[in-house]
Amino acid sequence: MKNLLKVECKRVFSSKVFYFCLGIGAILCIWLLGIQVLEVRTFNQLIQEYGTEKVGLYYPRSLYNSFIGLDYAYLPSTILYTIFPLLVTLPHAMSYYRDKRSGYIKNILIKADKRDYYVAKYLSVFLSGFIVTSIILFFSLWISAICFPAILPEVTTSTYLPASAMAMYVELYYTHPLVYTVVYIFIDAVFYGIIATIALLISSYADNILYVFAGGMILYLITDYITGLVNKREFSPFNFLRPTQISCNAKISIIVAELILLIVLVAVSFLKKEREKDVF
């Protein structure tokens, strides 16, 4: 299985689509940074022209409200967290569907054990989603750190989120914000990696690549819509995966429970169904 996993991971890093998805994420991060830099420049000009007495008190923009995961005011951050399921699915999650359609899987299974191939495929898809998410978010953190100081968040300024005392890890955020940010990036990377694997399960049933590509995204948005209707937004990945926790107070118990549920539904169902199937 180790060799199969190496082959699958090599396919990820040699794919142009992988770098295309990273490019989309980078564009959104740079777009947001440009908006923030212009905002700071405009505000500084107002202060120079009118003084702080007329403009009002100003708490400097910090790394911790400029990072795309902690921005709550501008469009690029919303776009990124909306399309993340697509960005993590596109690089490698549809490869199993293509392997079946092209007959490539038959050549593999002549030389390899079924179980090893399917486990390697599942792990490689998860890792591709994990890596795409991590690189995009750490890239945003890096470019934000270049432009803005790492000033501790000040809750009284109303320019930092999470602001609720009930938010997950809120004390960590206001005392060690970098640790909070890195922990949340890890949570996002794991969850979006699992979301990418949904395409594998859909590939077992659907004969349309659009269903495979968009299935995780559709489930992601439907869950958000339903939880909004019943006023249970803390159960929506679209909400609890945003480090701002702007629409809900995330709960680690719910995040872990949904992770386990997805792993059981996707990994167990996919591996069981495909191992029993005769690919020939």
Would you state the structure tokens that stand for residue 272, as one six-digit string?
């069981």
- C-beta atoms surrounding 100 within 10 Å: 17
Q: Report how far apart, in Å, the C-alpha atoms of 211 and of each of 97, 133, 205, 251, 275 are.
A: 11, 22, 10, 31, 22
Residue length, the chain? 280
Distance CA 7, CA 120 (A): 9
pLDDT digits (tens, 9 = 90+) for 170-192: 999 999 999 999 999 999 999 99
Contact 134, 185 (CB under 8 A): yes
Q: Report how far apart, in Å, the C-alpha atoms of 14 and of each of 17, 43, 128 are.
A: 9, 44, 12
Please give the pLDDT value at position 155: 82
Please give the pLDDT value at position 42: 83
User: pLDDT 10s digit of each residue in the chain, 280 long?
Assistant: 778 888 888 999 999 999 999 999 999 999 999 999 998 888 777 777 776 655 555 678 899 999 999 998 899 999 999 999 999 999 999 988 888 888 888 888 787 788 888 889 999 999 999 999 999 999 999 999 999 999 998 887 777 888 788 899 999 999 999 999 999 999 999 999 999 999 999 988 888 889 999 999 999 999 999 999 999 999 999 999 999 998 889 999 999 999 999 999 998 888 777 666 654 4
DSSP letter, residue 225: H
Distance CA 280, CA 114 (A): 12
Would you state the structure tokens that stand for residue 55, as one six-digit string?
């403009």
pLDDT digits (tens, 9 = 90+) for 233-248: 999 999 999 999 988 8
Residue 134, class by beta-carbon neighbours within 10 Å (0-12 exposed, 13-18 middle, 19+ buried)?
Answer: middle
Q: Could you tell me which residues come within 8 angstroms of residue 135 by beta carbon, excluding any fewer than 6 positions away?
A: 22, 25
